[in-house]
Structure 1
């Protein structure tokens, strides 16, 4: 199949859809199937700075505890990369590490698809799901002696992609349960990060309650990411979307309307002012990066960005390309190919509208009529939400 894909002849069978899509991207990039594309590794100082800045450092003990013994016994290495596919840490079997050195698979290098072709790390960052890539599924021939299994990790505070944890080794050592193990350990690491965030939020809550008691008006206290620690006179909610670079003053918030924002230790005091604050006039849906899709909304009081989950990115993409709106049944058909799945669609739209407020309108679901909507997409059609299996996304690709 690999040789047929490179030569343009008819393959004996079709590769997995996610592999075939990746090979198509590599051919469009013109990547050398023998050597890939050389990249400059980070200096020792740059690598250390990335390690210190990454939240993956907090998850490293869990990742090592869950995977290192397996890596040693199964002749594998454990690799942790950031959201840019830069290798931050690499541990495991010494013989396999030496083989990886000869391949250039070392700390500080970029292991994304643009440099090394189809591989579990780079492809998982684009597909946004756990990936196992075996032997000739790798686009670059020098990687055919390898097998790798990778799972992405997300920051529970804002849903952003932190990076990927991977187990790699000789192709002969492939095992059907490796991917499940890597994914399970990745979920444990995310749980640890989530528990750490909940502990921070609990500390903020203890400090916020006396503050709210003195306010005497409708207000709430959030952390720097908009997670609500405590409320007074406001219906309880989990999170509010704060403007990018939030600063004290008047601001319009999607879920609350006009507010006054004041800093408190560890977060923000948000007072519901009831004042007439200009609502947003422009929304930019940016799906150029398959790793980080965002909705950026501009209002008179500032600009804020909302990181999107894969599902919400799909839904907003459909609405941005159908300004007249979609019914629940229509969205279900767009997303799942099944017009009966309206319950799922309504639940997801309810979550979105709680976060985005007046930006989205119901009956039919659509962007509000008075908002300018800009859709920023990559030039290559196959790079538009490549992780998506929704019929509305598959058809253009």
Structure 2
């Protein structure tokens, strides 16, 4: 599905006049003047509201500290972005240097990992602390393309006084999130930044395109590793008695024997050898393999499935602005998994409607129209494969025997801040 990209400067409008109008809106917003002399874009207005609630100083931002070189290198290696860096550089560095901009790559926590491009612009960025090892989260430097894209979970261009901190008003930035194709987790953001005069409507589209190419490179690398694991798994399973499955560290199936075939298993955040409970297969014995895991369901687990929910509690934690989880506690133990933005939205709506929702109702809850029921059914199909019998259909709901608990922020404006779903924003 094509993603709508909103330009920071409206088509046909003079950037300098638009910057002056933004400056007036910004001044009124930080002073608390009502009504504002104009309306910022919704994503910017929502971010400004968060900055006021966090108490971010519009003059200087919040405190920031530079990572030591050794810790910076650790974050680079742990980010999962090193393999994508060549593609990002090939696609953006030439443009950055020609257009007087810099390319910046940050991790999922907003730490600047790599920075390159125009030397004069890098020198200007130094004066802002826009350097490798610094945090560029919203709560540190205010509204900006990098930090706000991390919260909004979508590509974003920020121009001039759309930045919350005044020292950034001389800049324009275009950023796109980068996701791990193995599990959909947010890895970080790639960004092009430069003087405000370099703003261009096509910059964001370019950044998004290169980000997708980088994700494709990561996906190809993953498929290659999975293929190598499969070459080991097939002969191994031929010697294993009874049902068994070999998966990679992210739950992708390499081979199965006497078991239902699933493309991927949803694994708990803490997964190790020994006894584990998985929604898809129930209780399993887990053994380590080079490059993956061997799973053997406990006797009778496949026949019993996960329909036994008499003492099951599901806790949906949506308190944070950038990470959400589902924790399931049953007689077999406790299982926790991080959720994608879409799955967090769906589970939140279902938790608020224990009686259940039809596909059309969920479509209206998530998209504002009942006409995207097909999309909803496809997403629920994936979610139910992952969560086993916790989610049932006709209508879609948590199983009646499951106790649901929702942990959410006290400030309703900070609930799933990326979400535009009517059912979420109405809270």
- When normalised by structure 2's length, the TM-score is 0.89
Which residues in structure 2 correspond to 1:133-144 (within 5 Å)?
133-144=158-169
Per the alignment, residue 383 of structure 2 pairs with 352
User: Of the candidates 156, 170, 178, which is equivalent to residue 203 of structure 2?
Assistant: 178
Residues 258, 275 of structure 1: 8 Å contact kept? no
User: Of the candidates 54, 57, 60, which is equivalent to residue 79 of structure 2?
Assistant: 54
Per the alignment, residue 294 of structure 1 pairs with 325
Structure 1 gaps of 5+ residues are none
- 1:296-345 Cα distance to aligned partner (Å, 9 max, x none): 22333343333322221111010111222222222122112212332222
- Does the alignment pair 1:339 with 2:353? no
Which residues in structure 2 correspond to 1:277-292 (within 5 Å)?
279=308, 281-292=312-323
Structure 1 stretch 216-225 or stretch 109-118: which is displaced more? 216-225
- Does the alignment pair 1:231 with 2:256? yes
User: Of the candidates 32, 44, 48, which is equivalent to residue 57 of structure 2?
Assistant: 32
Per the alignment, residue 19 of structure 2 pairs with none
Residues 241, 304 of structure 1: 8 Å contact kept? no
- Partner Cα distance (2:269, 2:341) in 1: 21
Per the alignment, residue 407 of structure 2 pairs with 376
Report the 3-state secondary structure (helix = DSSP H, G, I; strand = E; otherwise coil) of the residue aligned with 1:42: coil
Decide whether aligned partners of structure 1 residues 361 and 348 sit closer, same or farther in structure 2, where only a CA change above 3 A counts: same
- Does the alignment pair 1:216 with 2:241? yes
Structure 1 stretch 162-171 or stretch 346-355: which is displaced more? 346-355
- 1:185-236 Cα distance to aligned partner (Å, 9 max, x none): 1111111111111111111100001111111322211011111001122232
Deviation at 1:271, TM superposition (A): 2.1
Decide whether aligned partners of structure 1 residues 35 and 248 sit closer, same or farther in structure 2, where only a CA change above 3 A counts: closer
- Does the alignment pair 1:305 with 2:336? yes
Which residues in structure 2 correspond to 1:7-18 (within 5 Å)?
7=31, 8-18=33-43
- 1:88-133 Cα distance to aligned partner (Å, 9 max, x none): 1111111101111111111111111101110000000000011100
Per the alignment, residue 353 of structure 2 pairs with 322
- Partner Cα distance (1:358, 1:159) in 2: 22
Per the alignment, residue 8 of structure 2 pairs with none
Deviation at 1:175, TM superposition (A): 0.7
- Does the alignment pair 1:23 with 2:23? no
Residues 287, 376 of structure 1: 8 Å contact kept? yes
Report the 3-state secondary structure (helix = DSSP H, G, I; strand = E; otherwise coil) of the residue aligned with 2:52: helix
- Partner Cα distance (1:351, 1:134) in 2: 38
Report the 3-state secondary structure (helix = DSSP H, G, I; strand = E; otherwise coil) of the residue aligned with 2:60: coil
User: Of the candidates 121, 133, 152, which is equivalent to residue 127 of structure 1?
Assistant: 152
Structure 2 gaps of 5+ residues are 1-24
Deviation at 1:360, TM superposition (A): 0.8
Report the 3-state secondary structure (helix = DSSP H, G, I; strand = E; otherwise coil) of the residue aligned with 2:365: helix
Structure 1 stretch 38-47 or stretch 184-193: which is displaced more? 38-47
Per the alignment, residue 423 of structure 2 pairs with 392
Report the 3-state secondary structure (helix = DSSP H, G, I; strand = E; otherwise coil) of the residue aligned with 1:214: coil
- Partner Cα distance (2:133, 2:274) in 1: 42
Residues 158, 307 of structure 1: 8 Å contact kept? no
- Partner Cα distance (1:244, 1:304) in 2: 8
Deviation at 1:27, TM superposition (A): 0.9
- Does the alignment pair 1:241 with 2:266? yes
- Partner Cα distance (1:356, 1:71) in 2: 44
Per the alignment, residue 138 of structure 2 pairs with 113
Residues 183, 250 of structure 2: 8 Å contact kept? yes
Per the alignment, residue 267 of structure 1 pairs with 292
- Partner Cα distance (1:173, 1:341) in 2: 39
- Does the alignment pair 1:168 with 2:168? no
Residues 283, 332 of structure 2: 8 Å contact kept? no
Report the 3-state secondary structure (helix = DSSP H, G, I; strand = E; otherwise coil) of the residue aligned with 1:177: helix
- Does the alignment pair 1:251 with 2:276? yes
User: Of the candidates 29, 34, 52, which is equivalent to residue 5 of structure 1?
Assistant: 29
Deviation at 1:274, TM superposition (A): 4.0
Report the 3-state secondary structure (helix = DSSP H, G, I; strand = E; otherwise coil) of the residue aligned with 2:371: coil
Structure 1 stretch 41-50 or stretch 14-23: which is displaced more? 41-50
